[in-house]
Amino acid sequence: MRATVLYAPGDVRIEDRPDPAITAPTDAIVRIAATCVCGSDLWAYRGVEAVERPTPMGHEYVGTVEAVGAGVTTIRPGQFVVGSFFASDNTCDICRAGYQSSCVHREYVGAGGAQAELLRVPLADGTLVATPEPPPADLVPSLLAASDVLGTGWFGAVAADVKPGRSVAVVGAGAGGALAVLAARHLGAERIIAMSRHPDRQKLALDYGATDIVTERGDDGVARVKDMTGGLGAHCVIEAVGTQESMLQAIRSTRPGGHVGYVGVAHGVALPGEELFYSHVHLHGGPAPVRRFLPGLIDLITTRIIDPGKVFDLTLPLDRVADGYAAMDERRAIKTLLSPSA
Ligand SMILES: [Zn+2]
């Protein structure tokens, strides 16, 4: 099969690799219909995050089940499925509490590399969710978004305790931040402040229901959010970047008693204990338990209530994956969809 491999910072290639095989009876093999480049892939691509090289890349996927192991009981060949980046049994205490991305049996699905023609998915029954029927082509991008970036934005909004009537600020308006805006809108937020300096990202946030844009960062951004919320700060703040600056901006934009939902993969973040102590802010986040949200999100997508696929502003054949990474790295694209069959 053709698959994406990262050799070194900035050096991502398509190469021929062996087809994945079923190695455990609970595995499934999925033929990828669409995959994409994640903002978190850029940490490795930029060399910020050390990788064992060469490394298969990609952890977002939708496709058709090609084969299942003897122990798989609910997922069947021929089904169109959406899965999460962490495989989960969906039966342990942690899964049943809704934290499938910390399942006691979790495995990183992306270890096999989803930016490829085929992917081995462990724990298929607990990880994959089948759509009611094979989706029309125009719904595939939205279903792909549910695999990670929508589920992540949704978790951010839920972790930030978004409820009807609340004020929400979103730090970082990449694809994850934009879909956190969508989630906040769906969950009934009254005011949604998107914090971004980039016109294309501001437009996407406004399309998804943001009511205000703040372009300032750091202390100035915090001051703007407080101005807009009666001097108190927002009830709910979603952090979708993962840097020290963005995390502090999120905490400081939240009113006492409010909630921060942090879903940007943290890199080099160190929080000041004394400031946290006196902030009275709830912090909740981490790798999104996408599996918790998948059935509901698939329903909202297939009934065309939400359209998260608009985050993909560049679509390329899989063979041009290097162009897809470069476009996101250089901010020429918000998010790149890759089509293995093109
Ligand atoms: Zn579990």
Cα 212 to ligand 1 centroid, rounded to whole Å: 39
pLDDT for position 47: 87
Cα separation, 182 vs 110, in Å, equals 26
Cα 287 to ligand 1 centroid, rounded to whole Å: 14
Region(s) of the chain under CATH 3.40.50.720 = 151-285
pLDDT for position 111: 87
Cα 340 to ligand 1 centroid, rounded to whole Å: 31
Cα 197 to ligand 1 centroid, rounded to whole Å: 39
Cα 182 to ligand 1 centroid, rounded to whole Å: 28
Cα 106 to ligand 1 centroid, rounded to whole Å: 7
Rounded mean pLDDT, 126-152: 97
Cα 89 to ligand 1 centroid, rounded to whole Å: 4
Cα 94 to ligand 1 centroid, rounded to whole Å: 6
Region(s) of the chain under CATH 3.90.180.10 = 2-148+289-339
Cα 111 to ligand 1 centroid, rounded to whole Å: 18
pLDDT above 90 coverage of the chain, percent: 94
Architecture of domain 2-148+289-339: Alpha-Beta Complex (3.90)
Cα 128 to ligand 1 centroid, rounded to whole Å: 13
Cα separation, 159 vs 51, in Å, equals 29
pLDDT for position 105: 97
pLDDT above 70 coverage of the chain, percent: 100
pLDDT for position 110: 86
pLDDT band at 170 (very low <50, low <70, confident <90, very high): very high
234 Rama sector, left if φ>0, alpha if ψ -120 to 50, beta otherwise:
beta
Residue 134, H or E segment: none
The answer regarding whether domain 151-285 maps to CATH 1.10.3210.50 reads no
Cα 334 to ligand 1 centroid, rounded to whole Å: 33
Rounded mean pLDDT, 154-182: 97
Cα 307 to ligand 1 centroid, rounded to whole Å: 29
In DSSP terms, which residues pair with 36 in a beta bridge? 337
Q: 5 and 15 in contact (C-beta within 8 Å)?
A: yes
Cα separation, 84 vs 52, in Å, equals 22
Cα 125 to ligand 1 centroid, rounded to whole Å: 11
pLDDT band at 91 (very low <50, low <70, confident <90, very high): very high
The model's pTM? 0.95
Dihedral angle of Cα 93, 94, 98, 101, to the nearest 10 degrees: -150
Rounded mean pLDDT, 20-26: 97
Close Cβ partners of 268 (under 8 Å, ≥ 6 residues apart): 243, 244
Cα 85 to ligand 1 centroid, rounded to whole Å: 14
Environment class of 57 (CB within 10 Å of its CB; exposed 0-12, middle 13-18, buried 19+): buried
Helices 149-159 and 175-186: crossing angle, nearest 10°? 50
In DSSP terms, which residues pair with 31 in a beta bridge? 64, 118
pLDDT band at 173 (very low <50, low <70, confident <90, very high): confident
Cα 101 to ligand 1 centroid, rounded to whole Å: 8
Cα 29 to ligand 1 centroid, rounded to whole Å: 20
Cα 88 to ligand 1 centroid, rounded to whole Å: 5
Pairing state between β 234-239 and 254-262: parallel
Q: Which of 276, 246, 94, 91 is nearest to 171 (CA)?
A: 246
**Is the peptide bond prior to 54 cis by the omega test (within 30 degrees of 0)?**
yes
